[in-house]
Structure 1
Amino acid sequence: MSSRTTYALGGVALLVIVLIVVLVVRWNSDHSLKVQGDGYGPVHDPAVSVLLDSDGAIVLGKANAAKTIDVYEDPMCPNCGSLEHLYGQLIAQKIDQGKLAVRYRLVNFLDQKSGSKDYSTRAVAANECVADAGNGPVYSKFHTALFTTKQPSENGGDLGNEQLAAIAAEAGAPAEVQQCITKGQRVDSARNHAQSAMTTLKAAVGEVRTPTVLDGSNDLNLNDSGWVDKVAP
Protein backbone atom coordinates (compact mmCIF):
# COMPACT_ATOMS: atom_id res chain seq x y z
CA MET A 1 0.00 0.00 0.00
CA SER A 2 1.41 3.38 -0.95
CA SER A 3 2.14 6.03 1.67
CA ARG A 4 -0.33 8.33 -0.11
CA THR A 5 -3.11 5.75 0.36
CA THR A 6 -2.10 5.26 3.98
CA TYR A 7 -2.32 8.99 4.66
CA ALA A 8 -5.68 9.19 2.90
CA LEU A 9 -7.13 6.34 4.96
CA GLY A 10 -5.69 7.86 8.10
CA GLY A 11 -7.32 11.17 7.25
CA VAL A 12 -10.70 9.51 6.73
CA ALA A 13 -10.37 7.65 10.02
CA LEU A 14 -9.50 10.89 11.83
CA LEU A 15 -12.48 12.65 10.28
CA VAL A 16 -14.80 9.83 11.41
CA ILE A 17 -13.42 10.03 14.96
CA VAL A 18 -13.87 13.81 15.06
CA LEU A 19 -17.46 13.46 13.79
CA ILE A 20 -18.26 10.87 16.46
CA VAL A 21 -16.82 13.09 19.18
CA VAL A 22 -18.84 16.08 17.96
CA LEU A 23 -22.05 14.03 17.89
CA VAL A 24 -21.43 12.64 21.39
CA VAL A 25 -20.72 16.09 22.80
CA ARG A 26 -23.83 17.50 21.12
CA TRP A 27 -25.99 14.61 22.37
CA ASN A 28 -24.71 15.04 25.93
CA SER A 29 -25.31 18.79 25.74
CA ASP A 30 -28.89 18.33 24.50
CA HIS A 31 -29.66 15.73 27.15
CA SER A 32 -28.03 17.65 30.01
CA LEU A 33 -30.70 20.34 29.88
CA LYS A 34 -33.15 19.96 32.74
CA VAL A 35 -36.89 19.90 32.11
CA GLN A 36 -38.25 22.84 34.09
CA GLY A 37 -41.24 22.07 36.32
CA ASP A 38 -41.00 18.38 35.42
CA GLY A 39 -44.11 16.48 36.47
CA TYR A 40 -46.44 19.48 36.52
CA GLY A 41 -48.01 18.87 33.13
CA PRO A 42 -50.20 21.33 31.22
CA VAL A 43 -52.41 24.02 32.76
CA HIS A 44 -54.73 22.64 35.50
CA ASP A 45 -56.74 25.58 36.83
CA PRO A 46 -60.23 25.86 35.30
CA ALA A 47 -60.03 29.61 35.95
CA VAL A 48 -57.50 29.84 33.13
CA SER A 49 -59.19 30.89 29.90
CA VAL A 50 -58.09 30.93 26.29
CA LEU A 51 -59.09 33.58 23.78
CA LEU A 52 -58.74 33.58 20.02
CA ASP A 53 -58.05 37.23 19.24
CA SER A 54 -59.20 38.92 16.04
CA ASP A 55 -55.63 38.91 14.66
CA GLY A 56 -55.28 35.16 15.27
CA ALA A 57 -53.26 35.40 18.47
CA ILE A 58 -54.21 32.74 21.01
CA VAL A 59 -54.08 34.17 24.53
CA LEU A 60 -53.83 31.64 27.36
CA GLY A 61 -53.97 32.84 30.96
CA LYS A 62 -55.98 34.46 33.72
CA ALA A 63 -57.54 37.86 33.18
CA ASN A 64 -55.38 39.46 35.87
CA ALA A 65 -52.08 37.83 34.88
CA ALA A 66 -49.11 39.89 35.98
CA LYS A 67 -47.17 39.47 32.71
CA THR A 68 -47.98 38.56 29.11
CA ILE A 69 -45.38 37.30 26.68
CA ASP A 70 -45.60 36.61 22.95
CA VAL A 71 -44.49 33.16 21.78
CA TYR A 72 -43.91 32.59 18.06
CA GLU A 73 -43.94 28.93 17.01
CA ASP A 74 -44.37 26.82 13.90
CA PRO A 75 -46.03 23.43 14.56
CA MET A 76 -43.32 21.69 12.46
CA CYS A 77 -40.41 23.43 14.20
CA PRO A 78 -38.24 20.95 16.17
CA ASN A 79 -36.72 23.73 18.29
CA CYS A 80 -40.25 24.79 19.23
CA GLY A 81 -40.83 21.22 20.33
CA SER A 82 -37.68 21.44 22.46
CA LEU A 83 -38.88 24.72 23.96
CA GLU A 84 -42.21 23.16 24.94
CA HIS A 85 -40.52 20.01 26.26
CA LEU A 86 -38.03 21.92 28.41
CA TYR A 87 -40.13 24.88 29.60
CA GLY A 88 -43.78 24.14 28.84
CA GLN A 89 -44.58 22.67 32.24
CA LEU A 90 -43.02 25.59 34.14
CA ILE A 91 -44.89 28.02 31.89
CA ALA A 92 -48.13 26.15 32.66
CA GLN A 93 -47.43 26.43 36.38
CA LYS A 94 -46.80 30.17 36.08
CA ILE A 95 -50.06 30.53 34.14
CA ASP A 96 -52.00 28.66 36.84
CA GLN A 97 -50.42 30.93 39.47
CA GLY A 98 -51.52 34.04 37.59
CA LYS A 99 -47.93 35.16 37.14
CA LEU A 100 -47.90 34.73 33.38
CA ALA A 101 -50.15 34.71 30.31
CA VAL A 102 -48.97 33.60 26.89
CA ARG A 103 -49.99 35.10 23.59
CA TYR A 104 -49.26 32.34 21.07
CA ARG A 105 -48.62 33.65 17.56
CA LEU A 106 -48.44 30.57 15.36
CA VAL A 107 -46.75 30.70 11.96
CA ASN A 108 -46.59 28.36 8.97
CA PHE A 109 -43.30 28.95 7.14
CA LEU A 110 -42.40 25.24 7.47
CA ASP A 111 -45.39 23.99 5.48
CA GLN A 112 -43.09 22.75 2.72
CA LYS A 113 -41.17 20.60 5.25
CA SER A 114 -44.29 18.46 5.81
CA GLY A 115 -45.49 15.51 3.81
CA SER A 116 -48.76 17.21 2.89
CA LYS A 117 -47.04 20.57 2.24
CA ASP A 118 -49.65 22.31 4.40
CA TYR A 119 -49.32 20.70 7.83
CA SER A 120 -48.25 23.84 9.67
CA THR A 121 -51.27 25.74 8.33
CA ARG A 122 -53.69 22.94 9.23
CA ALA A 123 -52.16 22.62 12.70
CA VAL A 124 -52.52 26.36 13.24
CA ALA A 125 -56.17 26.01 12.16
CA ALA A 126 -56.64 23.17 14.65
CA ASN A 127 -55.18 25.34 17.41
CA GLU A 128 -57.68 28.05 16.49
CA CYS A 129 -60.58 25.59 16.59
CA VAL A 130 -59.62 24.43 20.08
CA ALA A 131 -58.86 27.93 21.37
CA ASP A 132 -62.14 29.35 20.10
CA ALA A 133 -64.01 27.09 22.56
CA GLY A 134 -62.48 29.08 25.44
CA ASN A 135 -61.36 26.23 27.73
CA GLY A 136 -57.83 27.04 28.94
CA PRO A 137 -56.81 23.64 30.34
CA VAL A 138 -58.10 21.82 27.24
CA TYR A 139 -56.20 24.14 24.92
CA SER A 140 -53.03 23.82 27.02
CA LYS A 141 -53.21 20.03 26.87
CA PHE A 142 -53.80 20.07 23.11
CA HIS A 143 -51.02 22.58 22.42
CA THR A 144 -48.58 20.63 24.59
CA ALA A 145 -49.28 17.35 22.80
CA LEU A 146 -49.02 18.94 19.36
CA PHE A 147 -45.56 20.34 20.09
CA THR A 148 -44.13 17.39 22.06
CA THR A 149 -45.35 13.80 21.90
CA LYS A 150 -47.39 14.24 18.70
CA GLN A 151 -45.12 16.59 16.75
CA PRO A 152 -44.18 15.27 13.29
CA SER A 153 -40.58 15.49 12.16
CA GLU A 154 -39.43 17.84 9.42
CA ASN A 155 -39.24 16.29 5.95
CA GLY A 156 -41.21 13.30 7.18
CA GLY A 157 -44.84 12.43 7.50
CA ASP A 158 -47.40 14.58 9.21
CA LEU A 159 -50.85 14.39 10.77
CA GLY A 160 -54.13 14.45 8.88
CA ASN A 161 -57.11 16.48 10.08
CA GLU A 162 -58.72 13.37 11.57
CA GLN A 163 -55.58 12.72 13.61
CA LEU A 164 -55.47 16.33 14.79
CA ALA A 165 -59.13 16.04 15.80
CA ALA A 166 -58.35 12.84 17.73
CA ILE A 167 -55.62 14.67 19.68
CA ALA A 168 -58.14 17.40 20.47
CA ALA A 169 -60.60 14.76 21.67
CA GLU A 170 -57.92 13.30 23.97
CA ALA A 171 -57.39 16.79 25.39
CA GLY A 172 -61.11 17.05 26.17
CA ALA A 173 -62.35 19.15 23.25
CA PRO A 174 -66.07 18.70 22.46
CA ALA A 175 -67.51 17.24 19.25
CA GLU A 176 -68.04 20.60 17.55
CA VAL A 177 -64.36 21.47 17.98
CA GLN A 178 -63.34 18.11 16.56
CA GLN A 179 -65.63 18.74 13.59
CA CYS A 180 -64.08 22.18 13.08
CA ILE A 181 -60.68 20.50 12.77
CA THR A 182 -61.80 17.57 10.64
CA LYS A 183 -63.55 19.80 8.11
CA GLY A 184 -60.71 22.34 8.04
CA GLN A 185 -63.11 25.14 8.86
CA ARG A 186 -60.42 27.56 9.98
CA VAL A 187 -57.70 26.76 7.45
CA ASP A 188 -58.16 29.93 5.39
CA SER A 189 -58.21 32.22 8.41
CA ALA A 190 -55.27 30.34 9.95
CA ARG A 191 -53.22 30.88 6.79
CA ASN A 192 -53.95 34.62 6.89
CA HIS A 193 -53.22 34.85 10.61
CA ALA A 194 -49.94 32.94 10.22
CA GLN A 195 -48.79 35.26 7.43
CA SER A 196 -49.68 38.28 9.54
CA ALA A 197 -47.77 36.86 12.51
CA MET A 198 -44.68 36.35 10.36
CA THR A 199 -44.85 39.97 9.22
CA THR A 200 -45.09 41.11 12.84
CA LEU A 201 -42.22 38.82 13.86
CA LYS A 202 -39.93 40.07 11.10
CA ALA A 203 -40.67 43.66 12.08
CA ALA A 204 -39.86 42.87 15.71
CA VAL A 205 -36.61 40.90 15.36
CA GLY A 206 -35.57 41.39 11.73
CA GLU A 207 -36.23 37.82 10.60
CA VAL A 208 -38.71 34.97 10.80
CA ARG A 209 -37.30 32.45 13.26
CA THR A 210 -38.94 30.11 15.70
CA PRO A 211 -39.15 29.81 18.56
CA THR A 212 -39.06 33.49 19.43
CA VAL A 213 -40.35 34.78 22.76
CA LEU A 214 -40.91 38.48 23.26
CA ASP A 215 -41.47 40.30 26.53
CA GLY A 216 -42.86 43.49 25.05
CA SER A 217 -40.13 44.48 22.58
CA ASN A 218 -37.47 42.48 24.44
CA ASP A 219 -36.31 39.39 22.51
CA LEU A 220 -35.72 36.86 25.30
CA ASN A 221 -32.57 34.74 25.39
CA LEU A 222 -33.93 31.20 25.27
CA ASN A 223 -30.44 29.76 25.80
CA ASP A 224 -30.67 31.05 29.37
CA SER A 225 -32.27 28.13 31.23
CA GLY A 226 -33.67 30.54 33.83
CA TRP A 227 -35.55 32.76 31.40
CA VAL A 228 -39.06 31.74 32.55
CA ASP A 229 -38.35 32.50 36.21
CA LYS A 230 -36.74 35.80 35.26
CA VAL A 231 -39.71 36.97 33.20
CA ALA A 232 -42.31 35.73 35.74
CA PRO A 233 -40.68 35.46 39.20
Structure 2
Amino acid sequence: MSSATTYALGALALVVVVAIVIVAVRNGRHDELPVRNDGYGTVHNSAVVSVLGADGTVLLGRPDAPKTIDVFEDPLCPACAMVERAYGQELAQKLDEGKLAIRYHYVNFLDKQSASGDYSTRAIAADECVAASGSGPVYSQFQHTLFTSKQPKEGGDSDLTNQQLADIARESGASADAVQCIASGAKVEAAKANAKTATEALRGLNDGKVATPSVFDGTKRLDMNNQNWVGEVAP
Protein backbone atom coordinates (compact mmCIF):
# COMPACT_ATOMS: atom_id res chain seq x y z
CA MET A 1 0.00 0.00 0.00
CA SER A 2 2.78 2.40 0.88
CA SER A 3 4.55 1.77 -2.39
CA ALA A 4 1.38 2.15 -4.42
CA THR A 5 0.54 5.38 -2.64
CA THR A 6 4.00 6.77 -3.35
CA TYR A 7 3.68 6.00 -7.05
CA ALA A 8 0.21 7.54 -7.19
CA LEU A 9 1.38 10.73 -5.51
CA GLY A 10 4.39 10.88 -7.83
CA ALA A 11 2.18 10.51 -10.89
CA LEU A 12 -0.14 13.25 -9.62
CA ALA A 13 2.80 15.57 -9.01
CA LEU A 14 4.05 14.92 -12.55
CA VAL A 15 0.66 15.77 -14.01
CA VAL A 16 0.58 19.03 -12.05
CA VAL A 17 4.09 19.97 -13.20
CA VAL A 18 3.26 19.22 -16.85
CA ALA A 19 0.09 21.32 -16.59
CA ILE A 20 2.06 24.24 -15.15
CA VAL A 21 4.66 24.00 -17.93
CA ILE A 22 1.96 23.94 -20.61
CA VAL A 23 0.31 27.03 -19.17
CA ALA A 24 3.65 28.82 -18.92
CA VAL A 25 4.52 28.01 -22.53
CA ARG A 26 1.14 29.18 -23.78
CA ASN A 27 1.33 32.39 -21.81
CA GLY A 28 4.81 33.07 -23.17
CA ARG A 29 3.90 32.64 -26.84
CA HIS A 30 3.40 36.14 -28.15
CA ASP A 31 2.48 34.91 -31.64
CA GLU A 32 -0.77 33.45 -30.32
CA LEU A 33 -2.19 36.88 -29.45
CA PRO A 34 -4.91 38.15 -31.78
CA VAL A 35 -3.53 40.27 -34.60
CA ARG A 36 -5.54 43.40 -35.31
CA ASN A 37 -6.10 44.33 -38.99
CA ASP A 38 -4.18 41.25 -40.09
CA GLY A 39 -3.11 41.58 -43.72
CA TYR A 40 -2.86 45.38 -43.77
CA GLY A 41 0.91 45.40 -43.43
CA THR A 42 3.13 48.33 -42.57
CA VAL A 43 2.67 51.98 -43.57
CA HIS A 44 1.84 52.45 -47.29
CA ASN A 45 1.17 56.18 -47.61
CA SER A 46 4.14 58.26 -48.80
CA ALA A 47 2.59 61.26 -47.02
CA VAL A 48 3.66 59.59 -43.76
CA VAL A 49 7.14 60.83 -42.83
CA SER A 50 9.72 60.02 -40.18
CA VAL A 51 11.37 62.88 -38.34
CA LEU A 52 14.42 62.26 -36.17
CA GLY A 53 14.48 64.65 -33.23
CA ALA A 54 17.61 66.12 -31.66
CA ASP A 55 16.92 63.94 -28.60
CA GLY A 56 16.68 60.74 -30.64
CA THR A 57 12.90 60.54 -30.66
CA VAL A 58 11.33 59.47 -33.95
CA LEU A 59 8.06 61.10 -34.97
CA LEU A 60 6.20 58.95 -37.48
CA GLY A 61 3.04 60.23 -39.13
CA ARG A 62 1.47 62.69 -41.50
CA PRO A 63 2.26 66.33 -40.68
CA ASP A 64 -1.44 67.09 -40.20
CA ALA A 65 -2.19 64.23 -37.78
CA PRO A 66 -4.44 65.56 -34.99
CA LYS A 67 -3.08 63.31 -32.21
CA THR A 68 0.35 62.04 -31.21
CA ILE A 69 1.00 59.21 -28.79
CA ASP A 70 4.35 58.41 -27.17
CA VAL A 71 5.70 54.85 -27.34
CA PHE A 72 8.65 53.69 -25.23
CA GLU A 73 10.41 50.50 -26.32
CA ASP A 74 13.66 48.56 -26.01
CA PRO A 75 14.71 46.76 -29.22
CA LEU A 76 15.34 43.53 -27.29
CA CYS A 77 12.06 43.60 -25.34
CA PRO A 78 9.86 40.52 -26.03
CA ALA A 79 6.71 42.29 -24.82
CA CYS A 80 7.42 45.10 -27.28
CA ALA A 81 7.47 42.48 -30.03
CA MET A 82 4.11 41.23 -28.75
CA VAL A 83 2.61 44.72 -29.05
CA GLU A 84 4.09 45.21 -32.52
CA ARG A 85 2.68 41.90 -33.73
CA ALA A 86 -0.74 42.47 -32.22
CA TYR A 87 -1.28 46.16 -32.98
CA GLY A 88 1.35 47.21 -35.53
CA GLN A 89 -0.89 46.81 -38.56
CA GLU A 90 -3.80 48.61 -36.96
CA LEU A 91 -1.47 51.47 -36.01
CA ALA A 92 -0.09 51.54 -39.57
CA GLN A 93 -3.58 52.07 -40.96
CA LYS A 94 -4.24 54.91 -38.52
CA LEU A 95 -0.94 56.49 -39.59
CA ASP A 96 -1.84 56.14 -43.28
CA GLU A 97 -5.26 57.68 -42.68
CA GLY A 98 -3.71 60.63 -40.86
CA LYS A 99 -5.65 59.96 -37.67
CA LEU A 100 -2.58 59.39 -35.53
CA ALA A 101 1.14 60.03 -35.24
CA ILE A 102 3.58 58.09 -33.06
CA ARG A 103 6.59 59.50 -31.25
CA TYR A 104 8.98 56.64 -30.52
CA HIS A 105 11.39 56.80 -27.57
CA TYR A 106 13.98 54.03 -27.42
CA VAL A 107 15.65 52.84 -24.22
CA ASN A 108 18.56 50.39 -23.88
CA PHE A 109 18.28 48.84 -20.42
CA LEU A 110 18.34 45.36 -22.00
CA ASP A 111 21.83 45.81 -23.48
CA LYS A 112 23.19 43.55 -20.75
CA GLN A 113 20.78 40.81 -21.81
CA SER A 114 22.17 40.71 -25.36
CA ALA A 115 25.00 38.47 -26.52
CA SER A 116 27.08 41.42 -27.73
CA GLY A 117 26.39 43.48 -24.62
CA ASP A 118 25.23 46.49 -26.64
CA TYR A 119 22.58 45.24 -29.06
CA SER A 120 19.81 47.55 -27.89
CA THR A 121 22.05 50.60 -28.30
CA ARG A 122 23.21 49.55 -31.77
CA ALA A 123 19.65 48.78 -32.87
CA ILE A 124 18.58 52.24 -31.67
CA ALA A 125 21.44 53.76 -33.68
CA ALA A 126 20.29 51.83 -36.75
CA ASP A 127 16.74 53.02 -36.20
CA GLU A 128 17.94 56.62 -36.06
CA CYS A 129 19.87 56.20 -39.32
CA VAL A 130 16.73 55.02 -41.11
CA ALA A 131 14.48 57.64 -39.48
CA ALA A 132 16.79 60.45 -40.61
CA SER A 133 16.03 59.67 -44.27
CA GLY A 134 12.43 60.83 -43.76
CA SER A 135 10.45 58.06 -45.45
CA GLY A 136 7.55 56.86 -43.31
CA PRO A 137 6.92 53.63 -45.24
CA VAL A 138 10.62 52.66 -45.12
CA TYR A 139 10.92 53.47 -41.43
CA SER A 140 7.72 51.58 -40.63
CA GLN A 141 8.94 48.47 -42.46
CA PHE A 142 12.36 48.57 -40.79
CA GLN A 143 10.96 49.15 -37.31
CA HIS A 144 8.38 46.39 -37.72
CA THR A 145 11.01 43.91 -38.90
CA LEU A 146 13.40 44.72 -36.04
CA PHE A 147 10.67 44.12 -33.48
CA THR A 148 9.18 40.98 -35.01
CA SER A 149 10.88 38.50 -37.34
CA LYS A 150 14.45 39.74 -36.75
CA GLN A 151 14.34 40.47 -33.03
CA PRO A 152 17.07 38.48 -31.20
CA LYS A 153 16.14 36.48 -28.13
CA GLU A 154 16.55 38.25 -24.81
CA GLY A 155 19.36 36.45 -22.99
CA GLY A 156 20.22 34.50 -26.15
CA ASP A 157 23.66 33.52 -27.37
CA SER A 158 23.58 35.70 -30.51
CA ASP A 159 22.19 38.96 -31.83
CA LEU A 160 22.63 41.09 -34.95
CA THR A 161 25.84 42.74 -36.11
CA ASN A 162 25.83 46.27 -37.52
CA GLN A 163 26.18 44.78 -41.00
CA GLN A 164 23.16 42.54 -40.46
CA LEU A 165 21.17 45.54 -39.25
CA ALA A 166 22.30 47.42 -42.37
CA ASP A 167 21.16 44.52 -44.56
CA ILE A 168 17.70 44.60 -42.96
CA ALA A 169 17.53 48.33 -43.64
CA ARG A 170 18.46 47.77 -47.29
CA GLU A 171 15.77 45.11 -47.62
CA SER A 172 13.30 47.57 -46.08
CA GLY A 173 14.07 50.10 -48.83
CA ALA A 174 16.45 52.38 -46.92
CA SER A 175 18.77 54.68 -48.82
CA ALA A 176 22.44 53.89 -49.41
CA ASP A 177 23.37 56.67 -46.94
CA ALA A 178 21.19 55.11 -44.23
CA VAL A 179 22.64 51.66 -44.88
CA GLN A 180 26.19 53.01 -44.62
CA CYS A 181 25.28 54.94 -41.47
CA ILE A 182 24.21 51.67 -39.82
CA ALA A 183 27.11 49.56 -41.06
CA SER A 184 29.67 52.09 -39.81
CA GLY A 185 28.02 52.52 -36.41
CA ALA A 186 27.96 56.27 -37.00
CA LYS A 187 25.13 56.96 -34.55
CA VAL A 188 26.03 54.52 -31.76
CA GLU A 189 27.47 57.14 -29.40
CA ALA A 190 24.51 59.45 -29.98
CA ALA A 191 22.14 56.52 -29.40
CA LYS A 192 23.66 55.93 -25.95
CA ALA A 193 22.95 59.50 -24.92
CA ASN A 194 19.49 59.48 -26.49
CA ALA A 195 18.57 56.23 -24.72
CA LYS A 196 19.51 57.85 -21.41
CA THR A 197 17.25 60.81 -22.23
CA ALA A 198 14.41 58.44 -23.14
CA THR A 199 14.90 56.51 -19.89
CA GLU A 200 14.58 59.67 -17.82
CA ALA A 201 11.50 60.74 -19.76
CA LEU A 202 9.91 57.34 -19.12
CA ARG A 203 10.68 57.54 -15.42
CA GLY A 204 9.05 60.95 -15.29
CA LEU A 205 5.84 59.66 -16.87
CA ASN A 206 5.77 56.27 -15.19
CA ASP A 207 6.20 56.97 -11.46
CA GLY A 208 9.94 56.40 -11.59
CA LYS A 209 9.68 53.00 -13.29
CA VAL A 210 11.36 51.92 -16.50
CA ALA A 211 9.14 49.31 -18.14
CA THR A 212 8.55 48.58 -21.80
CA PRO A 213 6.41 48.72 -23.76
CA SER A 214 4.81 51.85 -22.34
CA VAL A 215 2.41 53.93 -24.40
CA PHE A 216 1.12 57.35 -23.36
CA ASP A 217 -1.60 59.66 -24.61
CA GLY A 218 -0.22 62.83 -23.10
CA THR A 219 0.51 61.85 -19.50
CA LYS A 220 -2.06 59.03 -19.46
CA ARG A 221 -0.61 55.55 -19.77
CA LEU A 222 -2.67 53.41 -22.13
CA ASP A 223 -3.67 49.87 -21.21
CA MET A 224 -2.12 47.40 -23.68
CA ASN A 225 -4.38 44.66 -22.33
CA ASN A 226 -7.37 46.51 -23.78
CA GLN A 227 -7.51 45.18 -27.33
CA ASN A 228 -9.51 48.21 -28.47
CA TRP A 229 -7.02 50.84 -27.28
CA VAL A 230 -5.91 51.90 -30.78
CA GLY A 231 -9.46 52.57 -31.96
CA GLU A 232 -10.27 54.39 -28.75
CA VAL A 233 -7.25 56.71 -28.94
CA ALA A 234 -7.74 57.39 -32.67
CA PRO A 235 -11.34 56.69 -33.71
Bin of the TM-score, shorter chain as denominator length? over 0.9
Question: 1:91 aligns to what?
Answer: 91
Give 1:164's aligned amino acid: L
| Structure 2 residue matching 1:63: 3-state secondary structure | coil
Give the deviation of 1:29 after TM superposition.
9.3
Q: What residue in structure 2 maps to residue 36 of structure 1?
A: 36
1:140: which partner in 2?
140
* Deviations, residues 113-169 of structure 1 (Å, cap 9, x unaligned): 111010000000000000011111111110010001111111111100000000000
2:125 aligns with 125
2 CA distance for matches of 1:155 and 1:104? 24
Deviations 1:2-48 (A, max 9, x none): 447436524532432432452476379972x3211111111111111
**Structure 2 Cα separation of the partners of residues 12 and 117 of structure 1:** 40
TM-score of the superposition, structure 1-length normalised? 0.94
Corresponding letter in the other structure for 1:94? K
Displacement of 1:175: 1.1
Q: Give the deviation of 1:62 after TM superposition.
A: 0.7
TM (norm. structure 2) is 0.93
**SS in structure 2 at match of 1:201:** helix
Which residues of structure 1 form unaligned runs of 5+? none
| Structural RMSD (CA) | 1.9
| Match in the other structure for 2:172 | 171
Partner residue of 2:107?
Answer: 107
CA distance in structure 1 between the partners assigned to 2:137 and 2:47 by the alignment: 9
CA shift for structure 1 position 96: 0.5
Against the structure 1 CA distance between its residues 205 and 98, is the aligned structure 2 distance closer, same or farther, given a 3 Å change threshold? same
Contact 2:31 2:82 in 1 (8 A): no
Alignment of 1:199-214 (within 5 A): 199-206=200-207, 207-214=209-216
1:134 partner letter: G
Aligned residue for 2:99, secondary structure, equals: coil
Identity of aligned residues (%): 50
Cα distance change on mapping 1:24 and 1:174 into 2, 3 Å: closer
The 1:183/1:25 distance shift into structure 2, 3 A limit, reads: closer
For 1:186, the equivalent position in structure 2 comes to: 187
SS at match of 2:98: coil
